Structure 1
Amino acid sequence: MSHYDEARRDLDSYIAARVPLIGIRSIEQVRAVRLLREVAASPRRANLPFWIHTRATGLRDLRTNTPVQEDRSLVAAMDFAAGQLTRRAQATIAFVDPDDLSGDSPVTRHIAELARLADAHSGSVVLITDNPLWTGLQRLGMSITLAPPNAIEMYDIVVDFLKEQQGAVNIDWTESDARRAAEFLVGVPEGTAVNVLATMAATGRMHREDVERLAEFKDKHFADLSGLERVALGPADHEIGGLTSLRAWLRRRHQVMVSDLRGTGLRPPRGVLLVGVPGCGKSLSARAVAAQWRLPLYRLDFATILGMYVGQSETRLREALEMADRTAPCVLWIDEIEKGLAGQHDSTGVSRRLVGQFLFWLQESRSRVFVVATSNDVRALPPELLRKGRFDELFFVDLPDEAERAEIIGLYHRRYVDEEPSADLLGRLVTVSDGFAGSDIESALHEVGVEVLLHGRGNLRPEFIVDTFVNTFPLSRTHPEQIAEIRAWGRDRAVPAGVAGTSASPDAGGRRRVIVPGDA
């Protein structure tokens, strides 16, 4: 059932029960007024009076839109309502965003008096607003939240729009495209969705490729989100070296992400937790997933979530996760998740409450939000986060082996030197880069790129590139005990993100993983 149908059912029952005060909370006033007008149009209410007041049009008959009085002020409308509710039984009057109704004020107290008059004469006062009602009003009646269209209703909106454009616009969309468009638009108001579709139709043709553009429109609509940081993606984000097992796994998950799951009992993919050696591509993987799947990428930053007041952190996290649901489908990147959800011995209890809140959302949310969480110190994470079923899978990202280092070296050599490395040079670099993480390789070749910029590619000597690698000291050499401990943990407790059974060096032990989403 759509959100609109649920709200209409509840409103119809409240009007029938003559609830004295009915609050309709919605950011879409036009949609809420339409809802009320449909309920008032029921044949069994043909003889019952309905009026509505707005700031722009004043007081009017709800059904015929006929003006009731010349004075358009709220005071005049409330005086009229008092008289009608006193003289006529079962009268209903609605006020659209009359004032700030969230606190104790002369207006809210006046409306409370109208509600008491309505209660005495079987009438109803309806308040349409996008803000919560003052508790003094809430106690006098019932409330309805008219949420933005869900996938069911949005699909009907898309189909109705396409039918209206038949003959005037060339439409290449299939039924599957319409469903994908509806999923992209879930969370935006009905009017915004129609405006976006109309913008596409204004070109004279709606191509199948336009469906993917809906993510861009939605991203602009939610451009400034509290607790979420929009991450811009570039052409280079499509590329990442190695991680073949993770890459294949993500290809399968992408198929589920874009599939119609109605009637299957399946839920959209939850996401993946990447743990392992720092600098081996965990954070780059989040960018690659979003770039390959052509979805907006948002970063959940726990530094902006944590607050100094009691309950502030929990409220901010809840709001950020709610906004993630509204921006779906999207990729939600949580970098170094242990820094936000660790601290099980925190005396304030904030960390434990955040963990519980996040896990509840991860378990219950049905939005197409794919979470990519990364961790360098998985031992700091609460055990319940690692339980099977929280994330779809737990992958361990190890140091790259020879084949993966060759792929990564080739990738960054093309990026910074703008040409393929020779076979001889590639072999030498693979040998001297034993123990390097992907970030170490990039850092070395970035220095080579600086040399090319300053002196030209024609003066670049292979020996300079090799020396640059030799003079790079990776973390596996500066902190060998730390890296060995991380690898020992991941070897037996997580799925390898790269090719199982390989290792970066003879004494490294452990399996290797690396990611490039979407590669064949």
Structure 2
Amino acid sequence: MNTSDFSDAFERTFKARVPFVLVQTAERARAMELIREVCARQTVGAYVHTLSKGTCELSGGRVVNEDRSVVGAIDFAGQQMLQRQNLTFILTEADEIETDTAFSRHLLDTVILASEKGGALVAVTTKPVWGQLQRQGMALTLSPPDQDEMLSLIRRQIADYRTLMPIEWDEADERRAATTLAGVTKIEAENIIAMMAASGSIKKTDFAELNRAKDGIFSNISGIERVEIRANALQVGGLSGLKAWLERKRPLLTADLRERGIRAPRGVLLVGVPGCGKSLSAKAIAASFEVPLYRLDLANLMGMYVGQSEGRLREALDTADRVSPCVLWIDEIEKGLGATGSDSTGVTTRMIGQFLFWLQESSARVFVVATANDVSQLPPELLRRGRFDELFFVDLPTEEERRDIIRLYVESGQLAELDPSLLEELVQGSEGFAGADLEAAIKEVVEEAFLHGDASVGADLFISSFRNIVPLSKTSPERIEAIRGWGRERAVPASGKSLTRAEDVTPMRRAVLLR
């Protein structure tokens, strides 16, 4: 629930004298502020317990019971309810109520007493509650500030700085910042904005710092792994069709699309020949979108106990929602969700269902980049429309793409620009090479230049390095041709064009529109 919905729901439970209210939130201070506002509009007595002060009056803060233990607070609440009607007690440290324990039963007895005396106990916690206790009342969830609340918070805070320092952000920048900070708490958002203002100005170029600050909050999250992106490793040769599609989708990832009734782009599934840049594309996409990159390793989520794997996947996907907007990279997805037929317990089937439900229903701005080599293992439901926004096939690079890739690796290796005739000879001699094969050939030349100087690098060294590479298309031609045959018939070419004649190929699912 957002702030408005939570306040309304809590006020109704308060007026109805529901004997037990569970408030699930990670923002205790924000929840207490809202609860205090609701209680101030009523005429019944309300008290709050904290470990630092004991039990105090909610409105004035006067200590009424110096016993700081939670058990002592519950005993005091029971005693007061026996003497007075319609009292409300708020517990901020009731952390042992998840299961059937002595403490949970003690609390349950007091809740039953509250129902008889028109009283109420409110537990503010991040944890779930024992079922028997939960059935005595209501559970309310206070979510982090939504996009509109975050926008109001940012505007209020920036307004305080406008007379003190240069503020370059306009309304569009404020909305983008609100989208970026979705998932963080109110105090975390205030701290991030204050930290940015500490530099003496707030500029349009500060969004990279905004992302880093948010990423620092979730640096120790579980389930997914943060991937650092090196700027010098983000150039991807070729794949013009994929690049054009991504460029059109890029503004939509952080835009406010609610008026149009559409959601942000969900992601792409990249299938194709090993070594042709699928994994590198995930890093380049995150860099282009200017959002952090996280990697989900489905194989590492597998547990030995019943329900453990599904629980770990749920936790990982919930984490991805919290750190959004981001790119979630799932490398070789068929190894985690593949239909291998060896799963006798149904774990894989349940994980597929859970993942697909999240992919279909989650409204968080998580752009999924899943890669696959062996497409025969992918479950058919994963390829259905509505899961991913598009299915791209990454084929062996064309002549033009090989020319671009060779130039990129020569430049990144700080080698001299190739003579046009030598470049053309390398392009023609690398037919069937994947991007990884081209990288390996250039790497050998770069190593020689490092060891013996640039003067040792000549045309003969380039030619011999390329001749020493035996690509996978030659060592395993049947496998590569099977992959290419599948991709040509069922996916959009990432290069923007087919490698074969139109009459030899089943028509593509959909053409990629280029601008």
Same fold (TM over 0.5): yes
The answer as to 2:109 corresponding to 1:109 is no
In the alignment, the residues of structure 1 paired with residue 283 and residue 135 of structure 2 have an alpha-carbon distance, to the nearest angstrom, of 48
Residue deviations 1:171-190, cap 9 Å, x none?
21111111111111111111
Instruction: Output aligned runs, 1:247-258, within 5 Å.
Output: 247-258=243-254
Residue deviations 1:339-372, cap 9 Å, x none?
1111263322111111111111111111111111
Residue deviations 1:232-275, cap 9 Å, x none?
10012330100001110000010221322121111100101111
Equivalence for 2:309: 313
Report the residue type matching 2:219 in the other structure.
A
Report the residue type matching 2:415 in the other structure.
D
Equivalence for 1:192: 188
Residue deviations 1:181-211, cap 9 Å, x none?
1111111111111111111112221112213
Structure 2: where are the runs of 5+ without partners?
509-513
Equivalence for 1:349: 346
Equivalence for 1:289: 285
Residue deviations 1:208-244, cap 9 Å, x none?
2213322111111111222211111001233010000
Equivalence for 2:511: none
In the alignment, the residues of structure 1 paired with residue 85 and residue 268 of structure 2 have an alpha-carbon distance, to the nearest angstrom, of 60
Report the residue type matching 1:454 in the other structure.
L
CA positional deviation for 1:322: 0.7
The partner residue of 1:223 within 216, 219, 223 is 219
Higher relative contact order (CA 8 A, sep 6+): 1
The partner residue of 2:384 within 384, 387, 401 is 387
- Cα distance change of structure 1 residues 344 and 443 upon mapping to structure 2, 3 Å threshold: closer
Equivalence for 1:489: 486
TM-score after normalising by structure 2: 0.94
- Stretches of 4+ aligned residues off by more than 4 angstroms: none
Instruction: Output aligned runs, 1:168-179, within 5 Å.
Output: 168-179=164-175
Query: 8 Å contact 1:99–1:107 — kept in the other structure?
Result: no
In the alignment, the residues of structure 2 paired with residue 302 and residue 55 of structure 1 have an alpha-carbon distance, to the nearest angstrom, of 41
Equivalence for 1:36: 35
Query: 8 Å contact 1:254–1:293 — kept in the other structure?
Result: yes
The answer as to 2:458 corresponding to 1:467 is no
The answer as to 2:150 corresponding to 1:151 is no
Query: 8 Å contact 2:242–2:496 — kept in the other structure?
Result: no
Query: 8 Å contact 2:391–2:492 — kept in the other structure?
Result: yes
Equivalence for 2:234: 238
Report the residue type matching 1:93 in the other structure.
F
Residue deviations 1:64-88, cap 9 Å, x none?
2222244444444333312221121
The partner residue of 1:415 within 394, 412, 415 is 412
In the alignment, the residues of structure 1 paired with residue 242 and residue 204 of structure 2 have an alpha-carbon distance, to the nearest angstrom, of 29
Across the aligned residues of Structure 1 and Structure 2, the Cα RMSD in angstroms comes to: 2.0
Report the residue type matching 1:228 in the other structure.
I
Instruction: Output aligned runs, 1:53-92, within 5 Å.
Output: 53-92=49-88
CA positional deviation for 1:381: 0.6
Q: What percent of counterpart residues are identical?
A: 47
Equivalence for 1:20: 19
The answer as to 2:452 corresponding to 1:455 is yes
Query: 8 Å contact 1:344–1:382 — kept in the other structure?
Result: no
The partner residue of 1:338 within 328, 334, 339 is 334
Equivalence for 1:301: 297
Equivalence for 1:322: 318
Instruction: Output aligned runs, 1:260-275, within 5 Å.
Output: 260-275=256-271
SS of the aligned residue for 2:188 comes to: helix
The partner residue of 1:501 within 492, 498, 501 is 498
Report the residue type matching 2:24 in the other structure.
R
In the alignment, the residues of structure 1 paired with residue 146 and residue 8 of structure 2 have an alpha-carbon distance, to the nearest angstrom, of 16
Report the residue type matching 2:89 in the other structure.
I
In the alignment, the residues of structure 1 paired with residue 486 and residue 420 of structure 2 have an alpha-carbon distance, to the nearest angstrom, of 35
Query: 8 Å contact 2:81–2:87 — kept in the other structure?
Result: yes
Query: 8 Å contact 1:417–1:452 — kept in the other structure?
Result: no
Query: 8 Å contact 2:179–2:254 — kept in the other structure?
Result: no
How many corresponding residue pairs? 506
SS of the aligned residue for 1:149 comes to: coil
Report the residue type matching 2:417 in the other structure.
E
- Structure 1 range deviating more: 180-189 or 58-67: 58-67
Equivalence for 1:516: none
Query: 8 Å contact 1:335–1:374 — kept in the other structure?
Result: yes
In the alignment, the residues of structure 2 paired with residue 237 and residue 256 of structure 1 have an alpha-carbon distance, to the nearest angstrom, of 25
- Cα distance change of structure 1 residues 467 and 510 upon mapping to structure 2, 3 Å threshold: farther
- Structure 1 range deviating more: 218-227 or 315-324: 218-227
